[in-house]
Amino acid sequence: MRKVSLNHISAWIHKNARELEIAIWKYHFEEGSKEAVLNALTYYQNEDGGFGNTVDPDNWNVNSLPYATLFVINILDDIEFYDMQHPIYLGIKKYIDTESNFPEGWVFTVETNKDYPHASYYNYDENYNKTESTGIILGFCSFIINHYPESKIYAEVLKLSDKMLEKLYSGDNLGDMGPTGYISLVDATKHAKLQGYDYDKLELRLRELVNKSIQRNPEQWPYYGYKPSDYIKSEDNIFYEDNKDIIQVELDFLYDTLPQNDVWPIPWSWFENNEKYPKESIISGNWWKAIKAIEKAKFLRNFIRVQ
């Protein structure tokens, strides 16, 4: 069985990553602390409790943004930090409760992006938001159901979640973050023991959605698309049995494609905005390589493919 060297990845991370990703790497692989991750995150949080300031490397907007805030919520979940009385969470809850346009304000692109370097898919577009905001809505609903039931919008969130789960059966165009958002929402409603849902039916639909969306041709994996690891992080995942063979293919693929003295390239760019923001797009790409290298290293470790 071929195994990837963690030392190889660690050396690159320490030489090239931001303080935030170095702290996350140390937490997962070098007995680092959650506190170091929290300390790094505080520099990206604004007074209103939301996050911006390039915490998502593809958007350099300094203002608090829905997706940037959800991005941080996912980091906190990744390090299993759930102290809701910590200042970082108190800020997030403040941001949620003062968001005046619920749920219309939970959008993927905002008008102020035009004032800052950003990837082309962050260009403000109302029609684009109708699809791509799905994952953000689902993510915030999941967080509030899981961790913030005392929110003043909790009752409205439950109604919105009900509508979103009905849409799960209506089609496959759920936006880029829609599938993972639906997985988190079903997990949240099930964990909260919310009544009125056929969870077996929901999980069957999720299996169908995941199995259909996974790109099964390894030749396409260097390009943007869903890979098994986007959904399946370990063997106890509900999607594992249907995809255990293709997971082994991806694990071999990661071993075969790890460059010498580097980590894996990312399968996207800022596209037409590369020319508009040449320096920023290169910096962003390097930061994202670190984020994705950590994800891949965790995936490899969980399937005993590291040394």
Q: How many residues does the chain have?
A: 307
**Residues whose CB is less than 8 angstroms from the CB of residue 137 and which lie 6 or more positions away in sequence, other chains included:** 103, 106, 160, 164, 181
Per-residue pLDDT tens for 117-127? 999 999 999 99
Share of the chain above pLDDT 70, in %: 98
Could you tell me if 74 and 56 are in contact, meaning their C-beta atoms sit under 8 angstroms apart? no
In angstroms, what CA-CA distances link 82 with 25, 155, 190, 286?
19, 22, 18, 29
**What six digits make up the tokens of 67?**
């997706």
- Give 258 or 223, the one with higher predicted confidence: 258
Residue type, 184: S
**174: pLDDT confidence band, cut at 50, 70 and 90?**
confident
Higher pLDDT, 98 or 246: 246
- Eight-class DSSP state of 99: -
Tokens of 148: 């913030």
Q: Please tell me whether residue 298 adopts helix, strand or coil conformation.
A: helix
Question: For 182-203, how does the pLDDT look when each residue is reduced to its tens digit (9 = 90+)?
Answer: 999 999 999 999 999 999 999 9
The whole-number pLDDT of residue 273 equals 98
| Res 247 pLDDT > 80 | yes
Q: Is the pLDDT of residue 280 over 90?
A: yes
CB atoms within 10 A of CB 157: 22
Distance (Å, whole) CA 253 – CA 245: 13
Over the stretch 23-50, which tens digit does the pLDDT of each residue have? 999 999 999 999 999 999 999 999 999 9
pLDDT of residue 226: 93
CA-based nearest residue to 287, from 8, 16, 27: 16
- Radius of gyration, CA atoms only, the chain: 19
C-alpha triplet 25, 31, 33: angle, nearest 5°: 80
Q: Where are the alpha helices (DSSP H) in 30-113?
A: 34-42, 66-78, 87-97
| Per-residue pLDDT band at 99 (split at 50, 70, 90) | low
> DSSP class of residue 266?
P
CA atoms of 143 and 77, how far apart (whole Å): 10
3-class secondary structure per residue, 224-246: CCECHHHCCCCCCCCCHHHHHHH
pLDDT at 176: 84
pLDDT of residue 184: 97
Backbone angles phi, psi at 143, to 5 degrees: -60, -45
| pLDDT tens, residue by residue, 68-95 | 999 999 999 999 999 999 999 999 999 9
pTM of the model: 0.96
Q: For residues 73 and 143, is the Cβ–Cβ distance under 8 A?
A: yes
And the tokens for 287? 């930061």
| Contact assessment for residue 144 and residue 167, using Cβ atoms and an 8 Å cutoff | no
- Could you give the CA distance from residue 258 to residue 129 in angstroms, rounded to a whole number? 35
Return the closest-CA partner of residue 97 out of 157, 46, 56, 38: 157
φ, ψ dihedrals at 45, nearest 5°: -90, 135
| Position 100 pLDDT exceeds 80 | no
Mean pLDDT score of the chain: 95
Are the C-beta atoms of 189 and 197 separated by less than 8 Å?
Answer: yes
Q: Where are the domains of the chain?
A: 1-18+217-307, 44-213
Backbone dihedral angles phi then psi of residue 265, each to the nearest 5 degrees: -70, 160
On the question of pLDDT at 209 being above 70, the answer is yes
Instruction: Give the containing element (helix H, strand E) for 136.
Output: helix 134-147
- The answer to whether residue 13 scores a pLDDT higher than 70 is yes
Query: Given a cut of 70, is residue 172 above it in pLDDT?
Result: no
